[in-house]
A and B are shown apart, each in its own frame.
Chain A
Amino acid sequence: MNQISTSDRPTAEAPAPEALVETAPAPAAAAGWKEVELRSWGRVPRTRSLAARPERMRELRACLAAGGEVALRPLLARGAGRSYGDACLNDGGAVILTERLNRILSFDPASGLVVVEPGVTFADLLATFLPRGFRVPVSPGTSFVTVGGAVANDVHGKNQHVSGCFGDCVEWLDLLLADGSVRRLSPSEESELFDATIGGIGLTGIILAVCLRLLPVESPALLVRRQRMDSLDAFLAGFRAAEQVTFSVGWIDVLAEGAALGRGILETAEPAPCGVVAPPPPRPKRLPLDLPSWALNSQSVRAFNALYWRRARPEAREAVSNYAPFFYPLDAITDWNRLYGPRGFHQFQCVVPIEAGEAPLRRLLAAARAGGGASFLAVLKVMGAPGRGLLSFARPGISLALDFAAGTGTHALFATLERITLEAGGRIYLAKDALMSPESFRAMYPRAPALQEVRERVDPHRRFSSGMSRRLGLG
């Protein structure tokens, strides 16, 4: 019997046709490479790399074994390219695009365990498993992220303070190493390499498969509560009051000043009980062209923010929502990064320890406003347990994310934000970063030397590296 059955349907009645006797092994797939321009979600910088886009595992393995020009270049796997900085870039190097390795390989409803290829996205998981009563325990703020990228950046979601990071829902993963061997890693098997790979920004190898534990849900909806917060103090008090609530996130009007500094909207949510359903979300819209660079200026952002703030009522309001619009509000506009025009933008995200109080947040917001850049998006989030990865971002504290159009003042502004973060004992999120100095990186990520030891063991010739790893002095 050489039929390769994956169906539970009994197939015994079908005779095994002699035709299915194995004739020849499938041919060694020659992976195609070509020079491409790659950018990250922030659309800056522009890089050139040799890129392959394998469509099957056989081709992926051939990519690693490729000779010639490719063998001489540093190699990096890239998922959806949704990180904002240079974590997904490899200027002058070789990049393996994993977007087409996107099969869901198995699912066990009894345990919730699902095994997927690295290019499967959160949108895929949501569409496939929410109707069956399961959700991903941890999801980032866009559904277009791949599972491979989510592992490599140890992403977090609006429930980080309760549920931890994405790495915490990974049961095991298969990693292709520089020498062509494949290792299965988990918290109990090869845990050192596992911890180096969770949040390891792709520096340990190429992820081939990931096993996640999904959570059962009673309803495909959430009960969302939106509440206006008049100041930063009110915000922090609001977060404290919502400590036990599963999902919480805050949006801040960065341009508000004085007593209104830090005003915004706190959104909290709980999974809805059985029987609650939400109306279907609208279809995503596309932004068909780049907005001109001047379109987002402090006036237009100020007007938008004021409108947005006023739209929310002063008293708390509850509503039923689907998962997608609450988890992925920005996915409603498919190419929202084009809002910032052709020059692109930078996102700054840091977490500062809770003990530091609100002072660092005030300093960061003041610096952001003084920097002149209009930050369209400012998101506040409370974080709990640290991520298990050696370069995981999460740690107990408060996280602040700000967007700035790329421009002449960006570097100076980011240097200021970086210094404030460092002085507060916080750290900057690698998934968002394109500008941090190696010195700050070493101070913010004290476990980086442990990652280097692991790489010395599994990739002594540094086959894998990225624009980010070279910039941060990791080689």
Chain B
Amino acid sequence: MAGPRNEPAFRQTWLILGASSAAARAFAHRAAGSGAQVLLAGRDAEDLHAQAADLSLRHDVPAEALRLDVRDLDSHAAFAAGCAARSSGQLNIFAAVGAMPEQQRLDHDVALLRDTVETNFTGLVSVLAAFTPALTRQRGGTMMVMGSVAGDRGRKGNYLYGATKAALHAWLQGHAARLSASGVRVVCLKAGVIDTAMTWALPRLPFTVSPQAFARAAWKLVGRGPQGAYVPRIWQPIMLIIRLLPTPVFNRMNF
């Protein structure tokens, strides 16, 4: 295979959590395109293997696949240590971990409820927290995590998902404050609707962006920008209005 240079001359390493999702894939291409080493973590080994090969061939950077199940909390410390050992440059993290089951199914399925909370919140923050020592030690780097506009105000259609994202947003605010002294930037991307497998079967929503457009906007926020950012930015005014809607009006809306 042509490609990966043998000397670890890479100044940056991007660890992508939940790397099989379309948004994460697009972001990984941005990172690899900038010349960074890429580590892909997730559960679908076949898919991550294909993606690692693709990234290293297209961008001529080292890329490898790592198995990670965020719900396996006990595994996180060792996972973080392994990633730190593998990264040849400054470690950065992009996380696109999340499941969005139908709200109605969650009403009856306790196992699914627990699984969703563990995936979207408990597991995700646990694995992110496991990187605190490594990030603090290197005194720099970016941790970019996909939140959602659904976390801004719980709505009928998917408020369990929204609740996990709201919890994540708050956790990231605190984590950002904690790591800021070490020069580590923690960014919460409040993502709008992205055209991915997660939203494919839903009715077409306005302001839907391609994964590539999302990744382009997210990449611009690496190294600068606010702690919490709407991506794309059109969602900032939209969510302002939605948050300000009087409760009686909001409750009558069907979305």
Contact = CB atoms under 8 A, between A and B. Distances in A.
* A11, A19, A104: most-surrounded residue (chain B CB, <10 A): A19
Interface string B1-16: 1111110100000000
Interface string A230-244: 000000000000000
Counting chain A residues whose Cβ lies within 8 A of the other chain, the interface size class is 35 or more
A259 to B, nearest CB: 52
Contacts of B2: 107-109, 132
B152 interface: no
B69 A24 contact: yes
A309 B4 CA distance: 48
A172 to B, nearest CB: 17
A280 interface: no
Given A56-B47, A58-B46, A20 B54 contact: no
Contact of B64 (A5, A19, A105, A127): A5
B16 to A, nearest CB: 14
B82 A7 contact: no
B65 A59 contact: no
Contact of A128 (B57, B67, B77, B197): B57
A29 B22 CA distance: 14
B2 to A, nearest CB: 5
Nearest to A24: B69
Contacts of B80: 19
A17 B46 CA distance: 20
Given A6-B49, A7-B63, A128-B57, A32 B69 contact: no
A336 interface: no
Interface string A392-416: 0000000000000000000000000
Q: Would you list the 7 A-B pairs with minimal beta carbon distance, nearest first? A: A17-B82, A19-B79, A32-B201, A19-B75, A103-B54, A4-B65, A19-B78
B45 interface: yes
Interface of B: 1-6, 8, 20-22, 25, 42-54, 56-58, 62-69, 72, 75-83, 85-86, 88, 196-197, 200-201
A76 B171 CA distance: 45
B54 to A, nearest CB: 4
A57 interface: yes
Contacts of B65: 3-6
B108 to A, nearest CB: 17
25 contacts: A3-B66, A4-B49, A4-B65, A6-B49, A6-B52, A7-B64, A8-B1, A8-B3, A9-B4, A9-B5, A11-B86, A14-B82, A14-B86, A16-B82, A18-B75, A19-B68, A19-B82, A23-B67, A32-B197, A32-B200, A53-B197, A55-B196, A59-B197, A107-B57, A128-B57
Given A3-B82, A11-B86, A20-B66, 12 more contacts: A4-B48, A6-B65, A7-B63, A8-B4, A14-B85, A19-B77, A19-B80, A19-B82, A56-B44, A58-B46, A59-B197, A106-B57
Contacts of B81: 15, 17
Nearest to A52: B200
Contacts of A59: 197
Nearest to B49: A4
Given A19-B68, A53-B200, A103 B22 contact: no
A3 B51 CA distance: 14
A108 to B, nearest CB: 7
Given A8-B1, A9-B6, A23 B54 contact: no
A188 interface: no
Given A9-B8, A18-B75, A55-B196, A34 B201 contact: yes
Contact of A104 (B43, B57, B68): B57
Contact of B200 (A20, A25, A34, A104): A34
A221 B81 CA distance: 48
A105 B50 contact: yes
A68 B96 CA distance: 31
B43 A26 contact: yes
Nearest to B127: A19
Q: Which of A2, A17, A23, A127 has the most CB of B within 10 A?
A: A17
Contacts of B75: 18-21, 23
B65 to A, nearest CB: 4
Contacts of B66: 3-4, 20
Contact of A108 (B1, B43, B52, B54): B1
Nearest to B87: A14
Given A11-B86, A14-B82, A14-B86, A33 B201 contact: yes
Contacts of B51: 103
B160 to A, nearest CB: 18
A105 B46 CA distance: 11
A55 B52 CA distance: 15
A378 B25 CA distance: 41
Interface in A42-60: 52-59
Contacts of A108: 1-2
Nearest to A34: B201
B1 to A, nearest CB: 6
A100 interface: yes
* Interface-centre pick from B4, B8, B21, B44 (highest chain A CB count, 10 A): B44
Contact of B50 (A14, A32, A107, A117): A117
A6 B56 CA distance: 8
Contacts of B64: 3-7, 11
A435 B112 CA distance: 51
Interface in A88-126: 100, 103-109, 117, 124
A19 B76 contact: yes
Nearest to A55: B197
Contacts of A54: 197
Contacts of B53: 6, 103-106
Contacts of A127: 58
A27 interface: yes
A458 B197 CA distance: 30
